Structure 1
Amino acid sequence: MNFPKEVVIIEVGPRDGLQNEPQFVDTEIKKAFIQKLAAAGIKEMELTSFVSPKWVPQMKDAGEIVQSAPEGVRGIVLAPNRKGIERVLETPCKSVAVFVGVSNTFNRKNINKSTRESMEELQPAIEELKAKNFFVRACISTAFYCPYEGKIQEDDTLALCREFVAAGVDELSVADTIGMAAPHESYSLFSRLKEALPDVLLAAHFHDTRKMALANTYAALEAGVNRFDSSAGGLGGCPFAPGATGNVATEDVVYMLGRMGIETSIDLDKLVAAVDTVAPVISRQIDTGYYRLSKQG
């Protein structure tokens, strides 16, 4: 087995982790969460998203969150469309994530556009962002399975990833949005992506709906992936993907990688302290393995 010596964790808790919370999380708590994640050693993080407050009210404080981004951290802001990108351009943020679902049905449920319509809107926007020296991340939703269309063909995911790379993105975040992928599917898709697109950063994004996220992470490691999205406390879920539960927990991924001798430069005790910041105000009990055991002393 040929695993990477180091892995980069892209923390998505402040954005993907909180977006589906039914009660608004106070802005100051979000800021404290972000600062403690940075103190734990997180160097790349999804901070918030510029989406319509009507559809995702949890993100209505995006402008204020961006203004308080920690120094030394790549703070990524999600912008699903041209309007969101225009709002980002009014802030000091220099890292943007755009997203498209491989599944047309999912894409329409999410942003009321087909996959093709989304790409036609985003391609010139990506070119503009790159001309202004932005780091651009493309999030590929429903890369394995869709809650409406079922299994997604690898060739369709690969084709969409190629389009984004041709448009000039710096990174692809390829997501098992509803947590249905099995390890052999993770290995197969990421092996093909690594071979076909060797010059772009490639991150794996797993949800733990069926408790397969760590197994899929291991399979992606075997395929050569060394960047992973994860959410402290296992927070998250997609409001437009029925049944999708939280992301793989950052603390569980970091613990597993540490046991494998793979460096992340993340302090687990400080990571747990960051989760403690939001645990009292979220809608469900945090029950990720490492977090639960740390609370038992």
Structure 2
Amino acid sequence: MTESLLLPAPPSGPSGPPGPTERVLPLRRPGRWVTAVVVLVLVAQAAHGLVANPFYQWDRFAYWFLRPAVLDGLLITLQVTAYSAVLGLAGGVLLALGRLSDNPVLRSVSWTYIWLFRSVPLIVVLLFLYNLSALYPTLSLGVPFGPAFLTFDESRLATDLVVAVIGLSLCEAAYAAEIVRAGVLSVDQGQHEAAAALGLPGRYQFARIVFPQALRSIVPSYVNQLIGLLKATSLVFYVSLLDLFGTVQSLSSTYPGDVVPLLLVATVWYVILTSLVSVVQFYVERHYARGALRTVPPTPLQRARAGLSDLRARLREETAR
């Protein structure tokens, strides 16, 4: 709220004319304007250096930005992110339910899993899975310490894409579990009691009453985690999967003079993808805020229209004066 200075009207005599209308004068903030000017100057200098510096080679950037090799790597990045996000969230929900369960075995196993995969770096998990065939050439299903009913060739199943998705999903599930658990715990205890009083089965209580309310807390945190997952896909280059970053690295070794433009290509694509995820996050949060807020946050288009209407109203007032 803008602070203002209220000037009192001068007193008027009993027989004299009435005093002038009180005027409200806004307080001057010269420090704000000086700071704004300094910031604009710094931004302008940074933009000028970014555009005018020939070291960035923007012509080569334009050449590589939509090349088929880069777009193929981008597609792999999107595939790995989508598969890992879905599997990681599903695993996180199961782990969160295990931690919230009254069964001590489920609680212990879920806690151990979360503790382990939050402790081990993602690159270590990916490299371990990539070399898993050296430890387990075949995988089998059967009776422990007994006969095997089904046997799989690990080298055929564990393709580069499968290894990347499994590794990212295993680590993502550990973090998603804590996000989901925090969201469930944020739901008022009265809602749990009301759901139990309806006599619904436990799975319906969670799916129809508790989880939809928990999504208001889960969505912002998990979308933030999803953005981290999108950038973490750059590590799958170390398991021989040429995603966006892996393609840029490979092209940089082939064209050493285009290292900087290729890195800028990867940077811009990652910025575009994270921006799109942020837009989706805004509308998802807005959707689930309908039951919690009296008025939902306005969309950017609505804000632009409101700002344009205010500007028109001010212009009309200035014209009327």
Relative to the length of structure 1, the TM-score reads 0.19
Bigger Rg, structure 1 or 2: 2
Say which structure is richer in helix: 2
Relative to the length of structure 2, the TM-score reads 0.18
Say which structure is richer in strand: 1
